[in-house]
Chain A
Amino acid sequence: MPDMALLWQQARRSLAIARKDVRIYYSKGPVIIFGVFFPVFLFLSFTIGRHMTLDFMIPGLLGMILFFTATSISPIVVPWEAQARTLERLMSCPVRMETIILGDILASFVFGVGISLVTIVLGLFLGITVSSPVVFAVAVILAAFCFASLGNVFSIPPTNLPSTVNMIASVVKFPVVFISGIFIPLDQLPVWGQAIAYISPLTYFTDIARSSIQGQSHLPLVIDFLALLGFTALFLAVAMKLHQKTMPRRI
């Protein structure tokens, strides 16, 4: 039986850590560049001049924005704090390692959802319609949490250089974007391409977004949601387990 008072106490402290991250990291250069400018310009460079409908473009753009924004803060917080020599103080506070990690993930999650809302509003303004808003909203929330957790996994190697972590993250993030049905619909990929696409969590969010906006999905929505849940659980478990080992090596 979990100690509910302890869980509540640690949840509140996670929120305090997330608020601290929001205040400090939302305005950091790498977050703005890698989280906002990069996906927008990358998307524009692949779509301008190609004949794509708005219904096809918006789910892809939203998927990219959500993926890049939600993975922009959680990888850099821990190395940044180690470099700024604030990490040891944080680790000596009465908070569990899971509390620290969850706080960092929450800050990244809120950033991802917030910036994605701008894209959604822009899409609605341009005339797209969302057929099932509740399903779509749940998907955005779940995917943002999943991607923020993945971002935290990138910061596991015990380097104190945010630029190194960003490099590690980029090595994973760019291939993921190209295999997740953003620029090429999954149905048009060869079988081996589809097999690769299934190992990307972004594939499942893009599929739900296409279902909500274009009215057609490659996989049943239940599968998409289960896959996102499974990836979230996996990334959380890996982050919490491995940070226990690497975090003390940063100080």
Chain B
Amino acid sequence: MTAQELTQNFVIKVDGLTKRYGELVAVDQISFQVKQGELFGFLGPNGAGKTTTVRILTGVIKADEGTALIAGYPAGSLKAKQVAGVVPEMANAYPDLSGWNNLVLMAELYGIPGSEARRRGEKLLEEIGLFSRKDDPVRAYSKGMRQRLILCMALISDPQILFLDEPTTGLDVQSARLIKEMLQRLNASGKSIFLTTHDMDEANQLCDRVAIINRGKIVAIDAPEKLRMAMRGMHSVEVSFTNTVSPEVLAQLPGVNTVRRSGDKYHLYTDVPGDLVVSLVNYTSLAGLKIVSLNILAPSLEDAFVALTEKEAKDA
């Protein structure tokens, strides 16, 4: 495979990207690639550098160091912007314009011919459930409707890659579900998607791979399932009893790393969940207890996220 073919296979190539705001290093030498057709998640706590990274990739701000290529074009160039659709964080459509006029404006700014823009606009609005409200001013839209419209605005140019910065944050369940379903359909049709999110379930459901960023640095990149499974000691046995049991007693059982109580359940973290179940059953019969429920839980993506970001914070 030639270098050019390799570049073409990656819709995003980031190398050593750095952005400083005075003393603060918002993004610190990050490097990653996103493959053609991939749905790539970018996770991190508040202030980790997610939005700064998206803004550099979409050409809104410039990096201080490093390079970023979008479909082979330098981030921020007109060609890179032309192939990208963007849903910025906390963005708004023009509230004084109708939903339809917002779409037409975006089509004009991307140079989409009028007839093609009308065809795409009608199809997108039908698909996202806004067609009947297309002539209403956006100020009359709910937050969920606005966010759905902004997604349509990002898609009117039929972009090669879609950037979404926390697209479902604060939305009602129905709008969030509509957006997620649309992202899945778009990805299935071959569109590359770069998604930042706080929602671990969302990342787990949607993303082929995720990068976890903390304090401006990438601490892990992998498939969500692989990240979960790589968390040694994060498997747990969730158990509840008919009577109250002291967590200190459960912590004495062989193989238990830590015990966490939540409501009437105990989470016993372990490297050997099978052995721990046997120990638990033996203990309950000796202590005259009855088990109400017992589940073996693999670490969630949230567990992996917390573990990785906390480890990074300790290392720092």
Binding site for B on A (CB under 8 A): 6, 9, 12-13, 16-17, 19-20, 23-24, 84-86, 88-96, 248, 251
Stretch among B30-38, B90-98, B181-189, B195-203 lining the A interface = B90-98
B105 touches A88 (CB 8 A): no
**Chain A at the B interface: mostly helix, strand, loop or mixed?**
helix
Q: Is A92 a contact of B88 with CB atoms below 8 Å?
A: yes
- Of the candidates B81, B93, B94, B108, which one forms a contact with A92 in the assembled complex, judged by CB atoms under 8 Å apart? B81
* A177 vs B93: C-alpha distance when bound (angstroms): 37
Q: B150 an interface residue at 8 Å Cβ cutoff?
A: yes
The answer for the CA separation of A16 and B94 in the assembled complex, in Å, is 14
The answer to whether B92 touches A94, judged by C-beta atoms less than 8 angstroms apart, is no
Known: A88-B55, A89-B150, A248-B61. A94 touches B110 (CB 8 A): yes
Decide if B16 is an interface residue (CB 8 Å cutoff).
no
| A residues less than 8 Å from B61 (CB atoms) | 248, 251
- Shortest distance from the beta carbon of A87 to any chain B beta carbon, whole Å: 9
Number of interface residues of B (CB under 8 A): 31
B105 lies within 8 A of A24 (CB): no
Contact of B108 (CB < 8 Å), options: A16, A84, A251 = A16
B118 at the A interface (CB under 8 A) = no
State the 7 A-B residue pairs at the shortest beta-carbon distance, nearest first: A16-B108, A94-B81, A92-B86, A94-B82, A85-B92, A93-B109, A92-B58
B251 contacts partner chain A, Cβ-Cβ < 8 Å? no
Distance from B58 Cβ to chain A, minimum over Cβ atoms (Å): 4
Q: Which of B33-81 contact A (CB under 8 A)?
A: 55, 58-62, 78-79, 81
Chain B residues in the interface with A (C-beta under 8 A): 55, 58-62, 78-79, 81-82, 84, 86, 88, 90-97, 101, 105-106, 108-111, 150, 153, 163
* Interchain nearest-CB distance for A86 vs B (Å): 5
A90 and B106 CA atoms in complex are apart in Å by 9
Closest B residue to A16 by beta carbon equals B108
Which residues in A have their C-beta under 8 angstroms from that of B92? 84-86, 89
Chain B residues within an 8 Å CB radius of A90:
109
Contact B101 A23 (CB under 8 A): yes
- From B62, B90, B91, B97, A24 is in contact (CB under 8 Å) with B97
The answer to whether A13 touches B59 (Cβ under 8 A) is no
What residues of B have a CB within 8 angstroms of the CB of A85 in the complex? 90-92
Q: Which residue of B lies closest to A27 (CB)?
A: B96
Closest to B153 in A: A89
Partner of B60, one of A19, A20, A84, A248: A248
Residues of B near A248 (CB, < 8 A) are: 60-62
With a cutoff of 8 Å between Cβ atoms, the chain A residues found around residue B108 in the complex are 12-13, 16
Among A85, A86, A89, A95, find the residue whose CB has the most chain B CB atoms closer than 10 A. Answer: A89
In the complex, the answer to whether A92 meets B97 with C-beta atoms within 8 Å is: no
Assess the B58–A24 pair: CB atoms within 8 A: no
Contacts A88-B91, A89-B153 given; does A12 touch B97 at CB 8 Å: no
Are A13 and B91 touching (Cβ within 8 A)?
no
Q: Are A24 and B94 in contact (CB under 8 A)?
A: yes
Q: What separation, in Å, do the CA atoms of A13 and B109 have in the docked complex?
A: 5
How close is A100's CB to chain B, nearest CB, in angstroms?
A: 10
Bound complex: CA A16 to CA B103 (Å):
12
| Docked-complex contact A251 and B101, CB < 8 angstroms | no
A89→B90 contact, CB < 8 A: no
Residues of B contacting A19 in the complex (Cβ-Cβ under 8 angstroms): 105
